[in-house]
Structure 1
Amino acid sequence: MKTIKNVILLGLALVWGALAQAQIDPVNADGLAIGGYDVVAYFSGKPQKGTKAHAAKHNGATYYFATKANKDAFTKSPSSYLPEFDGYCAWGVGEKQAKFPINPETFDIIDGKLYLFFNGDFNGKPFNTFPDWSNRTTQLEKAAHANWPKVKNSK
């Protein structure tokens, strides 16, 4: 029985490892947030990478910005630009009560808030959480906000 449990746990670890390689963590091991994407730029409708020249720290993470103006906007009001659910996949929090890595190019803005999503390969097949989110936005957004306090402190 213990061997079966270990095999299952190893399998889950391998699946999660493959999943994580296809996507990025909201804050990587070096402390870079959202893969270096400019969180302010999302609000103009097009995600874009920032640069080290326009970097700012917030809550231990480093954020890159495409312009000085974007950096200044963020430093004046970080909460206006930070993604919901600490940058984890909104669908994952709402549908699966879990933290999924994200693809910084897949996003939604709802009521002035940034939501990010998983969009990549899962077990060698394309898997994009955004279409389901789009079809059930109200339901999944409500569930995600209800689930987040419990999910936030999970590993």
Structure 2
Amino acid sequence: MLHYIGLVVMLLASTFALASEPVSTSFWGNTAIGGHDATAYYQADMDRRSRLVKGEKRYRVSWQGADWYFASQASADKFSANPTSYVPHYNGFCANALSLGEGKVKTGGEVWEFFGDELYLFYAEGGRQRWLNGDWQAYKHVADEAWSQILLKN
């Protein structure tokens, strides 16, 4: 029985690995997270405002069916080498909306926060404040469940 469960888990994991996950893109294009450089959020030596960096089309990387833009070739290369290290949780969809059962709400990358060591994006500052001032771990748990359901349907 334990062997059977392990096999099912392995098959599900390989299915997710092959499937393309949804990414928060612009309404009129295929640009992920508002065209912001996903690696810049992780530059802890910079102040918060300076980490919100717009990427350029010439430094574009396609991943999960979306176009991710970067401020430099070095940033694009860093992302290309290991995208999952830089992609915001829920591929940039609003963490707060997922935690409230509102589904996939797109974000533009401007409202963000790290919880633990993971990057989360929010549609609006009110959602970020809710997570900062509330039980973000409980909200994350609900959002993770909602995200899992979205991935199963995808």
> What's the TM-score once normalised by structure 2's chain length?
0.72
Alignment of 1:64 with 2:69, yes or no, is yes
1:58-100 deviations in whole A, cap 9, x for unaligned? 1221110012211111000000011111211001111224222
Judge conservation of contact 1:55–1:62 (CA < 8 Å) in 2.
Answer: yes
Percent sequence identity over matched residues?
A: 28
Q: Which has the higher strand share?
A: 1
8 Å CA contact retained: 1:106, 1:118: yes
How many equivalent residue pairs? 124
Provide the residue aligned with 1:27 in structure 2: 25
Q: TM-score, normalised by structure 1?
A: 0.71
- Counterpart residue number, 2:111: 106
The structure-2 alpha-carbon separation of the partners of 1:100 and 1:41, relative to structure 1 and needing over 3 Å to count, comes to same
Q: CA deviation at 1:142?
A: 1.5
Whole-angstrom CA distance in 1 between matches of 2:152 and 2:34: 22
Q: Residue 37 of structure 1 corresponds to which residue in structure 2? A: 36
Q: Distance in 2 between matches of 1:69 and 1:134?
A: 32
Which of residues 76, 79, 85 is equivalent to 2:81? Answer: 76
Do structure 1's residue 96 and structure 2's residue 101 form an aligned pair? yes
Instruction: Quote the Cα distance in structure 2 between the aligned partners of 1:94 and 1:54.
Output: 33
Unaligned ranges ≥5, structure 1: 1-24, 120-126
Q: Which residue of 2 aligns with 1:149?
A: 148
Distance 1:47 1:61 in 2: 19
Mind listing any 5+ residue stretches in structure 2 that lack a counterpart?
1-22
Aligned partner of 1:86 in structure 2 is 91
Q: Which residue is 1:116 aligned to?
A: 121
| 1:118-133 equivalences in 2 (<5 Å) | 118-119=123-124, 128-133=126-131
Bigger mean CA deviation after superposition, 38-47 or 94-103: 94-103
Verify the 8 A CA contact 1:97 1:147 in the aligned structure 2. Answer: no
